[in-house]
Chain A
Amino acid sequence: MKDQLPSEIADLHAYVDDQLSPESRRRVEEWLASRPEAKRQAADYALIREGLRGLYDPVLEEPVPPGMLRRESRNRWLRPLAAMAAGAMLLLGGIWFGVYLERGSGSLLAGVPDTVREAAMAYAVYAPEVRHPVEVPGDQEEHLVAWLSKRVGMPVRAPRLDSAGYRLLGGRLLASNDGPGALLMYENREGKRVVLYACASEEGARDTAFRFAKEEGVSVYYWSEAGLSYALAGEIGRAGLLELTQAAYRQIAI
Protein backbone atom coordinates (compact mmCIF):
# COMPACT_ATOMS: atom_id res chain seq x y z
CA MET A 1 0.00 0.00 0.00
CA LYS A 2 2.73 2.41 0.95
CA ASP A 3 4.85 1.71 -2.04
CA GLN A 4 6.40 4.78 -3.53
CA LEU A 5 5.75 5.06 -7.22
CA PRO A 6 8.92 4.90 -9.35
CA SER A 7 9.76 8.41 -10.43
CA GLU A 8 9.41 7.61 -14.15
CA ILE A 9 5.87 6.43 -13.57
CA ALA A 10 5.05 9.45 -11.46
CA ASP A 11 6.45 11.63 -14.23
CA LEU A 12 4.34 9.79 -16.75
CA HIS A 13 1.19 10.77 -14.87
CA ALA A 14 2.40 14.32 -14.40
CA TYR A 15 3.08 14.42 -18.13
CA VAL A 16 -0.46 13.35 -18.96
CA ASP A 17 -1.88 15.78 -16.40
CA ASP A 18 0.32 18.61 -17.64
CA GLN A 19 1.90 19.15 -14.26
CA LEU A 20 5.54 19.23 -15.38
CA SER A 21 7.87 22.17 -15.77
CA PRO A 22 8.87 22.79 -19.39
CA GLU A 23 12.29 21.19 -18.91
CA SER A 24 10.91 18.13 -17.13
CA ARG A 25 8.36 17.83 -19.86
CA ARG A 26 11.11 17.79 -22.51
CA ARG A 27 13.00 15.22 -20.51
CA VAL A 28 9.97 12.95 -20.30
CA GLU A 29 9.27 13.37 -23.99
CA GLU A 30 12.79 12.28 -24.80
CA TRP A 31 12.49 9.36 -22.47
CA LEU A 32 9.19 8.34 -24.08
CA ALA A 33 10.61 8.53 -27.59
CA SER A 34 12.50 5.28 -27.11
CA ARG A 35 9.81 3.51 -25.08
CA PRO A 36 6.76 2.63 -27.14
CA GLU A 37 5.13 0.74 -24.29
CA ALA A 38 5.33 3.73 -21.94
CA LYS A 39 4.12 5.92 -24.74
CA ARG A 40 1.08 3.73 -25.19
CA GLN A 41 0.50 3.85 -21.46
CA ALA A 42 0.52 7.65 -21.49
CA ALA A 43 -1.82 7.71 -24.46
CA ASP A 44 -4.23 5.39 -22.64
CA TYR A 45 -4.13 7.59 -19.56
CA ALA A 46 -4.93 10.59 -21.71
CA LEU A 47 -7.82 8.71 -23.30
CA ILE A 48 -9.20 7.85 -19.89
CA ARG A 49 -8.93 11.47 -18.92
CA GLU A 50 -10.85 12.57 -21.97
CA GLY A 51 -13.38 9.83 -21.43
CA LEU A 52 -14.05 10.96 -17.89
CA ARG A 53 -14.50 14.52 -19.05
CA GLY A 54 -16.90 13.34 -21.70
CA LEU A 55 -18.79 11.33 -19.15
CA TYR A 56 -19.12 13.91 -16.41
CA ASP A 57 -18.64 17.35 -17.94
CA PRO A 58 -22.27 17.43 -19.13
CA VAL A 59 -23.26 17.72 -15.47
CA LEU A 60 -21.78 21.22 -15.53
CA GLU A 61 -24.48 22.25 -17.98
CA GLU A 62 -27.40 20.73 -16.08
CA PRO A 63 -29.68 23.22 -14.38
CA VAL A 64 -29.01 23.41 -10.66
CA PRO A 65 -31.97 22.14 -8.63
CA PRO A 66 -33.72 25.01 -6.88
CA GLY A 67 -33.21 25.35 -3.16
CA MET A 68 -29.75 23.91 -3.12
CA LEU A 69 -28.36 26.96 -1.41
CA ARG A 70 -30.86 27.18 1.37
CA ARG A 71 -28.94 27.27 4.57
CA GLU A 72 -30.67 24.67 6.68
CA SER A 73 -33.14 23.46 4.23
CA ARG A 74 -33.72 19.87 4.38
CA ASN A 75 -33.83 17.77 7.43
CA ARG A 76 -34.30 14.55 5.68
CA TRP A 77 -35.29 12.75 8.81
CA LEU A 78 -37.96 15.25 9.64
CA ARG A 79 -39.96 14.78 6.48
CA PRO A 80 -41.31 11.32 7.06
CA LEU A 81 -41.73 12.16 10.69
CA ALA A 82 -43.28 15.51 10.11
CA ALA A 83 -46.86 14.32 10.16
CA MET A 84 -46.27 12.30 13.29
CA ALA A 85 -44.32 15.07 14.88
CA ALA A 86 -46.94 17.64 14.12
CA GLY A 87 -49.35 16.22 16.64
CA ALA A 88 -46.79 16.16 19.36
CA MET A 89 -45.59 19.58 18.45
CA LEU A 90 -49.07 21.02 18.72
CA LEU A 91 -49.17 19.66 22.23
CA LEU A 92 -46.11 21.70 22.94
CA GLY A 93 -47.86 24.85 21.89
CA GLY A 94 -46.67 24.95 18.34
CA ILE A 95 -43.28 26.22 19.38
CA TRP A 96 -41.54 23.40 17.64
CA PHE A 97 -42.89 24.51 14.33
CA GLY A 98 -41.03 27.72 14.77
CA VAL A 99 -37.89 25.81 15.56
CA TYR A 100 -37.85 23.53 12.64
CA LEU A 101 -39.34 25.69 9.97
CA GLU A 102 -37.18 28.65 10.79
CA ARG A 103 -34.10 27.45 12.48
CA GLY A 104 -31.89 30.34 13.31
CA SER A 105 -34.62 32.90 13.82
CA GLY A 106 -34.30 33.76 17.45
CA SER A 107 -35.66 30.62 19.00
CA LEU A 108 -33.77 29.59 22.07
CA LEU A 109 -32.99 26.27 20.48
CA ALA A 110 -31.72 27.76 17.27
CA GLY A 111 -28.17 28.12 18.50
CA VAL A 112 -27.79 24.69 20.04
CA PRO A 113 -26.39 21.58 18.39
CA ASP A 114 -28.52 19.28 16.28
CA THR A 115 -28.31 16.73 19.04
CA VAL A 116 -30.45 18.89 21.29
CA ARG A 117 -33.11 19.44 18.67
CA GLU A 118 -33.12 15.80 17.81
CA ALA A 119 -33.40 14.69 21.43
CA ALA A 120 -36.18 17.18 22.13
CA MET A 121 -37.99 16.18 18.97
CA ALA A 122 -37.60 12.51 19.75
CA TYR A 123 -38.98 13.15 23.20
CA ALA A 124 -41.93 15.05 21.76
CA VAL A 125 -42.66 12.32 19.24
CA TYR A 126 -42.06 9.14 21.20
CA ALA A 127 -42.60 9.89 24.87
CA PRO A 128 -46.39 10.26 24.46
CA GLU A 129 -46.58 6.90 22.68
CA VAL A 130 -48.64 4.48 24.71
CA ARG A 131 -48.22 1.27 22.79
CA HIS A 132 -44.98 1.70 20.90
CA PRO A 133 -42.68 4.05 22.74
CA VAL A 134 -39.65 1.89 21.93
CA GLU A 135 -38.57 -0.60 19.31
CA VAL A 136 -36.68 -2.90 21.65
CA PRO A 137 -37.94 -3.18 25.21
CA GLY A 138 -35.67 -2.70 28.20
CA ASP A 139 -35.84 -6.33 29.25
CA GLN A 140 -33.72 -7.09 26.19
CA GLU A 141 -31.12 -4.56 27.24
CA GLU A 142 -28.13 -6.55 26.09
CA HIS A 143 -29.49 -6.95 22.61
CA LEU A 144 -30.64 -3.33 22.54
CA VAL A 145 -27.25 -1.96 23.50
CA ALA A 146 -25.36 -4.22 21.10
CA TRP A 147 -27.66 -3.29 18.25
CA LEU A 148 -27.52 0.45 18.87
CA SER A 149 -23.75 0.38 19.31
CA LYS A 150 -23.37 -1.41 16.04
CA ARG A 151 -25.55 1.05 14.18
CA VAL A 152 -24.18 4.18 15.80
CA GLY A 153 -20.72 2.85 15.18
CA MET A 154 -19.51 3.45 18.75
CA PRO A 155 -20.17 1.79 22.07
CA VAL A 156 -23.47 3.02 23.45
CA ARG A 157 -24.22 2.39 27.12
CA ALA A 158 -27.57 2.30 28.83
CA PRO A 159 -26.91 3.88 32.21
CA ARG A 160 -28.96 2.78 35.22
CA LEU A 161 -31.08 5.57 36.55
CA ASP A 162 -32.85 3.49 39.19
CA SER A 163 -31.30 5.56 41.96
CA ALA A 164 -33.34 8.49 40.66
CA GLY A 165 -36.43 6.33 40.26
CA TYR A 166 -36.25 5.78 36.51
CA ARG A 167 -36.03 2.40 34.83
CA LEU A 168 -35.05 1.61 31.27
CA LEU A 169 -38.16 1.28 29.13
CA GLY A 170 -36.20 0.42 26.00
CA GLY A 171 -34.78 2.12 22.99
CA ARG A 172 -34.90 2.73 19.31
CA LEU A 173 -32.78 3.77 16.40
CA LEU A 174 -33.24 7.29 15.09
CA ALA A 175 -32.25 8.77 11.77
CA SER A 176 -30.44 11.95 12.69
CA ASN A 177 -28.74 14.59 10.62
CA ASP A 178 -25.45 12.96 11.44
CA GLY A 179 -26.51 9.40 10.74
CA PRO A 180 -27.87 6.72 13.04
CA GLY A 181 -28.67 7.89 16.55
CA ALA A 182 -29.55 5.87 19.62
CA LEU A 183 -32.55 6.78 21.71
CA LEU A 184 -33.06 5.25 25.14
CA MET A 185 -36.25 5.90 27.05
CA TYR A 186 -36.66 5.76 30.80
CA GLU A 187 -39.80 5.91 32.89
CA ASN A 188 -40.50 6.48 36.57
CA ARG A 189 -43.33 5.11 38.69
CA GLU A 190 -45.61 8.00 37.89
CA GLY A 191 -45.19 7.33 34.21
CA LYS A 192 -42.94 10.35 33.62
CA ARG A 193 -40.53 9.69 30.83
CA VAL A 194 -37.16 11.02 29.82
CA VAL A 195 -35.05 10.16 26.78
CA LEU A 196 -31.32 9.83 26.48
CA TYR A 197 -30.09 10.41 22.98
CA ALA A 198 -26.61 9.61 21.68
CA CYS A 199 -25.09 9.92 18.27
CA ALA A 200 -21.67 10.13 16.73
CA SER A 201 -21.32 13.64 15.40
CA GLU A 202 -18.82 16.34 14.71
CA GLU A 203 -19.97 18.03 17.86
CA GLY A 204 -19.04 14.93 19.79
CA ALA A 205 -15.45 15.14 18.66
CA ARG A 206 -14.41 17.17 21.65
CA ASP A 207 -15.57 16.67 25.20
CA THR A 208 -17.73 19.39 26.64
CA ALA A 209 -19.29 20.28 29.96
CA PHE A 210 -23.03 19.93 30.55
CA ARG A 211 -25.13 22.55 28.91
CA PHE A 212 -28.77 23.25 29.34
CA ALA A 213 -31.49 24.26 26.92
CA LYS A 214 -35.19 24.60 27.55
CA GLU A 215 -38.15 25.24 25.38
CA GLU A 216 -41.79 25.11 26.42
CA GLY A 217 -41.38 22.66 29.21
CA VAL A 218 -38.91 20.33 27.51
CA SER A 219 -35.63 20.55 29.31
CA VAL A 220 -32.48 19.23 27.70
CA TYR A 221 -29.07 18.70 29.18
CA TYR A 222 -26.43 17.97 26.61
CA TRP A 223 -22.76 17.18 26.52
CA SER A 224 -20.11 15.40 24.46
CA GLU A 225 -17.81 12.66 25.53
CA ALA A 226 -15.42 10.41 23.65
CA GLY A 227 -16.83 10.99 20.20
CA LEU A 228 -20.51 10.83 21.08
CA SER A 229 -22.91 13.68 21.60
CA TYR A 230 -25.47 13.07 24.31
CA ALA A 231 -28.68 14.79 25.21
CA LEU A 232 -31.07 14.00 28.00
CA ALA A 233 -34.52 15.44 27.46
CA GLY A 234 -37.72 15.47 29.45
CA GLU A 235 -40.52 17.54 30.86
CA ILE A 236 -39.24 17.56 34.38
CA GLY A 237 -37.65 20.28 36.44
CA ARG A 238 -34.14 21.35 35.76
CA ALA A 239 -32.82 20.05 39.06
CA GLY A 240 -34.36 16.63 38.56
CA LEU A 241 -32.99 16.43 35.04
CA LEU A 242 -29.53 17.44 36.20
CA GLU A 243 -29.57 14.66 38.75
CA LEU A 244 -30.38 12.17 35.99
CA THR A 245 -27.76 13.72 33.74
CA GLN A 246 -25.06 13.38 36.35
CA ALA A 247 -26.03 9.80 37.08
CA ALA A 248 -25.96 9.00 33.37
CA TYR A 249 -22.69 10.82 32.82
CA ARG A 250 -20.92 9.05 35.67
CA GLN A 251 -21.78 5.68 34.20
CA ILE A 252 -21.08 6.55 30.59
CA ALA A 253 -17.72 8.18 31.22
CA ILE A 254 -15.85 5.16 32.44
Chain B
Amino acid sequence: MSSGMTGDLLAAQIPRLRRYARALTRSAQAADDLVQDCLERAWRKAHRWEPGTDLRAWLFTLMHNVHINGLRRRRPDTEPMDDADYPDLRVQAADTPLHMRDLERAVAELPAEQREVLMLVCLEDMTYEQVAAVLGIPIGTVMSRLHRARERLRRYLAGERKPPLRRVK
Protein backbone atom coordinates (compact mmCIF):
# COMPACT_ATOMS: atom_id res chain seq x y z
CA MET B 1 0.00 0.00 0.00
CA SER B 2 1.54 3.23 -1.07
CA SER B 3 -1.29 5.46 0.08
CA GLY B 4 -0.33 8.24 2.40
CA MET B 5 -3.39 7.75 4.58
CA THR B 6 -2.66 7.55 8.27
CA GLY B 7 -4.74 7.16 11.36
CA ASP B 8 -3.61 10.57 12.54
CA LEU B 9 -4.82 12.26 9.39
CA LEU B 10 -8.20 10.64 9.73
CA ALA B 11 -8.40 11.16 13.47
CA ALA B 12 -7.98 14.90 12.99
CA GLN B 13 -11.14 14.95 10.88
CA ILE B 14 -13.32 12.87 13.19
CA PRO B 15 -14.75 15.72 15.29
CA ARG B 16 -15.93 17.53 12.16
CA LEU B 17 -17.36 14.39 10.65
CA ARG B 18 -19.23 13.71 13.85
CA ARG B 19 -20.63 17.21 14.01
CA TYR B 20 -21.86 17.00 10.45
CA ALA B 21 -23.23 13.50 10.94
CA ARG B 22 -25.07 14.61 14.07
CA ALA B 23 -26.67 17.44 12.16
CA LEU B 24 -27.70 15.08 9.39
CA THR B 25 -29.13 12.32 11.54
CA ARG B 26 -29.92 14.10 14.79
CA SER B 27 -29.24 10.94 16.74
CA ALA B 28 -25.90 10.37 18.40
CA GLN B 29 -25.95 6.66 17.66
CA ALA B 30 -26.95 6.97 14.01
CA ALA B 31 -24.39 9.73 13.59
CA ASP B 32 -21.51 7.69 14.97
CA ASP B 33 -22.55 4.72 12.86
CA LEU B 34 -22.43 6.99 9.86
CA VAL B 35 -19.00 8.30 10.79
CA GLN B 36 -17.71 4.81 11.33
CA ASP B 37 -19.05 3.60 8.00
CA CYS B 38 -17.42 6.58 6.38
CA LEU B 39 -14.07 5.86 8.04
CA GLU B 40 -14.16 2.21 7.10
CA ARG B 41 -14.79 3.23 3.55
CA ALA B 42 -11.96 5.72 3.78
CA TRP B 43 -9.55 2.95 4.76
CA ARG B 44 -10.80 0.73 1.98
CA LYS B 45 -10.39 3.46 -0.57
CA ALA B 46 -7.28 5.03 0.91
CA HIS B 47 -5.36 4.32 -2.28
CA ARG B 48 -7.68 6.68 -4.15
CA TRP B 49 -6.85 9.62 -1.97
CA GLU B 50 -3.95 11.70 -3.20
CA PRO B 51 -1.81 12.94 -0.35
CA GLY B 52 -1.71 16.69 -0.30
CA THR B 53 -5.24 17.08 -1.64
CA ASP B 54 -8.16 18.18 0.48
CA LEU B 55 -8.81 15.27 2.84
CA ARG B 56 -11.81 16.99 4.39
CA ALA B 57 -13.56 17.32 1.03
CA TRP B 58 -12.74 13.72 0.20
CA LEU B 59 -14.12 12.44 3.50
CA PHE B 60 -17.25 14.53 3.29
CA THR B 61 -17.86 13.17 -0.17
CA LEU B 62 -17.57 9.63 1.19
CA MET B 63 -19.92 10.50 4.01
CA HIS B 64 -22.42 11.97 1.61
CA ASN B 65 -22.42 8.75 -0.38
CA VAL B 66 -22.77 6.59 2.70
CA HIS B 67 -25.58 8.75 3.99
CA ILE B 68 -27.50 8.87 0.76
CA ASN B 69 -27.11 5.14 0.20
CA GLY B 70 -28.42 4.59 3.68
CA LEU B 71 -31.47 6.75 3.03
CA ARG B 72 -32.11 5.02 -0.28
CA ARG B 73 -31.82 1.58 1.17
CA ARG B 74 -34.20 2.39 3.92
CA ARG B 75 -36.93 3.30 1.51
CA PRO B 76 -38.41 -0.10 0.70
CA ASP B 77 -39.28 -1.09 4.24
CA THR B 78 -40.74 2.14 5.51
CA GLU B 79 -43.66 4.17 4.45
CA PRO B 80 -42.41 7.32 2.73
CA MET B 81 -39.96 8.06 5.40
CA ASP B 82 -40.00 11.33 7.15
CA ASP B 83 -36.70 12.36 8.60
CA ALA B 84 -38.62 13.50 11.62
CA ASP B 85 -39.05 9.83 12.51
CA TYR B 86 -35.53 9.77 13.84
CA PRO B 87 -35.42 9.88 17.57
CA ASP B 88 -34.54 13.39 18.41
CA LEU B 89 -32.39 12.76 21.44
CA ARG B 90 -30.98 16.18 21.96
CA VAL B 91 -34.29 17.93 22.04
CA GLN B 92 -35.12 16.33 25.34
CA ALA B 93 -32.23 18.04 27.05
CA ALA B 94 -33.95 20.31 29.52
CA ASP B 95 -31.27 22.95 29.44
CA THR B 96 -31.53 23.51 25.72
CA PRO B 97 -32.89 27.01 25.23
CA LEU B 98 -36.32 27.19 23.70
CA HIS B 99 -35.32 28.80 20.42
CA MET B 100 -32.64 26.17 19.95
CA ARG B 101 -35.22 23.48 20.34
CA ASP B 102 -37.34 25.24 17.76
CA LEU B 103 -34.41 25.43 15.42
CA GLU B 104 -33.58 21.79 15.86
CA ARG B 105 -37.16 20.83 15.23
CA ALA B 106 -37.21 22.95 12.13
CA VAL B 107 -33.98 21.38 10.91
CA ALA B 108 -35.58 18.00 11.42
CA GLU B 109 -38.21 18.90 8.89
CA LEU B 110 -35.82 19.88 6.16
CA PRO B 111 -35.38 17.42 3.32
CA ALA B 112 -32.05 15.61 3.61
CA GLU B 113 -30.68 17.24 0.47
CA GLN B 114 -31.30 20.73 1.80
CA ARG B 115 -29.91 19.86 5.19
CA GLU B 116 -26.65 18.65 3.67
CA VAL B 117 -26.08 21.89 1.81
CA LEU B 118 -27.04 24.03 4.78
CA MET B 119 -24.72 22.19 7.17
CA LEU B 120 -21.73 22.16 4.84
CA VAL B 121 -22.11 25.90 4.42
CA CYS B 122 -22.94 26.85 8.00
CA LEU B 123 -20.97 24.29 10.01
CA GLU B 124 -18.07 23.55 7.73
CA ASP B 125 -17.78 27.02 6.19
CA MET B 126 -17.29 25.41 2.83
CA THR B 127 -17.43 27.62 -0.23
CA TYR B 128 -20.35 26.99 -2.55
CA GLU B 129 -17.92 25.48 -5.04
CA GLN B 130 -16.65 23.05 -2.43
CA VAL B 131 -20.20 22.07 -1.50
CA ALA B 132 -21.01 21.48 -5.14
CA ALA B 133 -17.95 19.24 -5.51
CA VAL B 134 -18.62 17.28 -2.32
CA LEU B 135 -22.25 16.62 -3.19
CA GLY B 136 -21.67 16.21 -6.90
CA ILE B 137 -24.28 18.78 -7.91
CA PRO B 138 -24.17 22.01 -9.90
CA ILE B 139 -23.52 25.18 -8.01
CA GLY B 140 -26.93 26.54 -9.01
CA THR B 141 -28.51 23.62 -7.20
CA VAL B 142 -26.38 24.35 -4.15
CA MET B 143 -27.69 27.90 -4.11
CA SER B 144 -31.33 26.99 -4.56
CA ARG B 145 -31.17 24.30 -1.88
CA LEU B 146 -29.42 26.65 0.47
CA HIS B 147 -32.03 29.29 -0.17
CA ARG B 148 -34.96 26.96 0.33
CA ALA B 149 -33.44 25.56 3.51
CA ARG B 150 -32.88 28.99 4.99
CA GLU B 151 -36.27 30.28 3.98
CA ARG B 152 -37.93 27.28 5.51
CA LEU B 153 -36.11 27.69 8.78
CA ARG B 154 -36.82 31.38 8.72
CA ARG B 155 -40.54 30.91 8.24
CA TYR B 156 -40.59 28.26 10.88
CA LEU B 157 -38.79 30.41 13.40
CA ALA B 158 -40.94 33.37 12.53
CA GLY B 159 -43.84 31.58 14.08
CA GLU B 160 -45.18 29.09 11.61
CA ARG B 161 -44.91 26.34 14.14
CA LYS B 162 -47.05 24.02 12.13
CA PRO B 163 -44.97 21.96 9.77
CA PRO B 164 -45.26 23.37 6.27
CA LEU B 165 -47.18 21.46 3.69
CA ARG B 166 -45.09 18.91 1.95
CA ARG B 167 -43.94 20.20 -1.36
CA VAL B 168 -44.62 18.02 -4.34
CA LYS B 169 -41.33 17.39 -6.03
**Which A residues, 58 to 94, have Cβ-Cβ distances below 8 Å to chain B?**
59-62, 64-65, 68-69, 71-74, 76
Q: List the one stretch of A43-51, A118-126, A136-144, A225-233 in contact with chain B.
A: A43-51
For residues 137 through 175 of chain A, which have their beta carbon under 8 Å from a beta carbon of chain B? 150-151, 153
Are A13 and B39 in contact, CB atoms less than 8 angstroms apart? Answer: no
User: Could you tell me the dominant secondary structure of chain B's interface residues?
Assistant: helix
Q: How far is the CB of B125 from chain A (nearest CB, A)?
A: 8
Taking a contact as CB atoms closer than 8 A, the residue among A56, A65, A153 that contacts B76 in the complex is A153
Interface membership of A129, Cβ < 8 A = no
Whether A150 contacts B43 by the Cβ 8 Å rule is no
B140 near A59 with CB under 8 A, answer: no
Top 10 nearest A-B pairs (CB, nearest first) are A179-B73, A59-B19, A60-B15, A71-B43, A51-B103, A5-B143, A52-B122, A49-B122, A44-B154, A56-B23
* A58: nearest chain-B partner, CB-CB: B19
Interface residues of A in 8-28 (CB under 8 A from B): 9-10, 13-14, 17, 19
Q: Is the CB of B18 within 8 A of A13?
A: no
Those of B34-80 within 8 Å (CB) of chain A: 35-36, 39-40, 43, 69, 72-73, 75-77
A55 touches B154 (CB 8 A): no
CB distance from A246 to the nearest CB of B (A): 30
Are B32 and A52 closer than 8 Å at their CB atoms? no
B154:A56 contact, CB within 8 angstroms: no
Task: Output the residue of B75, B107, B125, B150 with the most chain A CB within 10 A.
Answer: B150
Which of B's residues lie within 8 Å of A, judged by CB?
Answer: 7, 10-11, 14-16, 18-19, 22-23, 32-33, 35-36, 39-40, 43, 69, 72-73, 75-77, 90, 99-100, 103-104, 107, 118-119, 121-123, 125, 127-128, 140-141, 143-144, 146-147, 150, 153-154, 157-158, 169
Q: Which of A44, A60, A71 contacts B19 (CB 8 A)?
A: A60
> Considering the complex, which residues of chain A in the window 184-204 have a beta carbon less than 8 Å from any beta carbon of chain B?
none
Given A17-B122, A52-B118, list of 13 further CB < 8 A pairs? A13-B143, A17-B125, A19-B128, A52-B107, A52-B122, A60-B18, A61-B15, A64-B14, A65-B32, A69-B7, A153-B76, A179-B73, A180-B76
A48 close to B154 (CB less than 8 A): yes
- A254 within 8 Å of B by Cβ? no
* Minimum C-beta distance from A197 to chain B (A): 17
Q: Can you pick out 18 interface pairs between chain A and chain B where the beta carbons lie within 8 Å of each other?
A: A1-B144, A1-B169, A19-B128, A44-B158, A45-B150, A48-B122, A48-B153, A48-B157, A52-B23, A52-B107, A52-B122, A53-B123, A56-B23, A60-B16, A64-B14, A69-B10, A69-B14, A179-B73
Taking CB atoms, residues of chain A closer than 8 Å to B119 are 52, 56
Q: A3-B144, A60-B19, A69-B10 are in contact. Are A17 and B121 (CB under 8 A)?
A: yes
Please give the distance in Å from A74's CB to the nearest CB on chain B.
7
